[in-house]
Amino acid sequence: MIRIILVDDHTMVREALRLVLEQDSSMQVVAEAGDGETAVRLVNEFAPDVVVMDVAMLGLSGIETTRRLLARHPKLKVLALSTYLDRRIIQQMLDAGANGYIIKSAAGAELKEGIRCVAEGRRYLCSEVARMMADSLRGQHPSPGKVRARALSRRELQVATLLAEGRSTPEIAASLNMTPGTVDVHRRNLMKKLEVHNVVELTKHAIRIGLILP
C-alpha cells in the first residue's frame, strides 16, 4: 500500500485527486494539506511514502516545502503537481529534491503511474514536461537532437527514461504493463529516432535533454 499526502491550496483540486486515487486499492490518501506549513506537520505525523505537492501556494511555496520535508525525511518521495509548464520552475522543483513533475492537465491520466514510479525510487516526468524539456535548454533554439526527441511518443519517452536509469527489459515491461517484446520494439525505435547505438549513448542523450539528472 502506497501512503500518500495531498498538498494543494485548492480544496476542489484535492477532492478531485483523492477521487482518482481512491479508485486504486494499492493507494491510500492518509491526509491532505492546503499549505506548506501544514504539510510539514502532517508528514511528521503520518510518515507517508509519497507527497503529491502543488508548486505554487500562498505562503510557503511547494519548492521550499519540498526542501524542508526532504531535509527532515530524506527517504520521502515528492511528486510535483502544477499548472506551470516552465522549464525553470520544473528544474527548481527537481533541484529541491522532487522525484517527478506532472502538470495538472495530465493528472487524470498519469497521476497514479507517476506515484508508483516515484514510490519505487524512479524519476517521473509527464509526457508534456518531458517533451518541453527536450525542446528547451536555457532558452536556446532546439538542437537537432532535441528536434528528434520531440518526435518520441509518450511510451517511448517513458521507455527511454527507464533505460537510461538502468532498468532491465523485464523491469520496464512490469513497470509499464507491457510485454518484454513490446519494450524491445520501443528500444529499437528509440535507437533509430535518436540515432544512438547503445544504452550508454541513450543515457548521455537523456541527461542532455533533461529526462534524467546526471
Query: Cα(49)–Cα(64) distance, rounded to whole angstroms?
Result: 19
pLDDT of residue 137: 42
- Location of C-alpha cell 506537520: 41
Residue 207's pLDDT band (boundaries 50, 70, 90)?
A: low
pLDDT of 165 > 80? The answer is: no
Query: Cα(67)–Cα(166) distance, rounded to whole angstroms?
Result: 27
Query: Cα(66)–Cα(93) distance, rounded to whole angstroms?
Result: 8
Higher-pLDDT residue of 102 and 92 is 102
- Location of C-alpha cell 477532492: 15
Query: Which residue ranges form the domains of the chain, and what is each CATH number?
Result: 2-125 (3.40.50.2300), 132-209 (1.10.10.10)
Over residues 50-95, the pLDDT tens digits come to 999 999 887 888 999 999 999 999 999 999 998 878 777 888 888 8
Higher-pLDDT residue of 148 and 130 is 130
Percent above pLDDT 90 for the chain: 41
By mean pLDDT, which of 1-5, 30-34, 104-108, 175-179 is the weakest? 104-108
When the pLDDT of each residue in the chain is averaged and rounded to a whole number, the result is 83
By mean pLDDT, which of 105-109, 120-124, 147-151 is the weakest? 147-151
Closest to 43 (Cα-Cα) out of 67, 22, 23, 11 = 67
Look at the chain and count its residues. 214
Contact 39, 5 (CB under 8 A): yes
Under DSSP, the state recorded for 105 is: G
pLDDT of 108 > 60? The answer is: yes
Higher-pLDDT residue of 26 and 207 is 26
